[in-house]
Amino acid sequence: MSKSVNILHLLLALSAAACIHFAWQETKDKIVKLDRLLRAPAAALVPALILMLIQLSTRQPIWPFMAAFFGGLAIGGTRGLTIPLKVERFWRVVRPPGMRAQVWIAVALTAAVVVDIAGAVAGPPGMAWRFPAALAAMVCAGMLAGRAIAMGARAWRLVG
């Protein structure tokens, strides 16, 4: 592990910003196409996987990351199943209520990225911050993915 910021941290910051952008677009628009439901989770998976791989390179076990991801997937899936949806069959679009929970999850993911970058700048004392940040990123990515998958499955079942 290096003690400084590298090109991966730039990719982390850009993908976290993209995640916030896509999550905000989903709350702003009244009509969401089914493929747009997956943009924020896809952008969230990039930093989560990079942070996990950085931690795996320091010989951390993989099971806490998988548990965090699948726990977030379960929480997001439960939320995606309980969100009231209006689905237009002809256009294959979803009208979710104006909720901003995914924006807050994307902000939490960005905070985890910022903590990891700060830990990289701090050097060896920052290693204690980086492991929980990677776990938090995995939970956030799982929550966004679970929500999108559940909402998409519900909408697809109603449309198809």
What is the pTM (predicted TM-score) of this model? 0.90
| pLDDT reading at 159 higher than 70 | no
Smallest Cα–Cα separation from 19: which of 116, 133, 155, 148?
Answer: 148
Write out pLDDT tens, residues 52-76: 999 999 999 999 999 999 999 999 9
Write out pLDDT tens, residues 91-130: 667 777 766 888 999 999 999 999 999 998 888 888 889 9
pLDDT value, residue 98 = 63
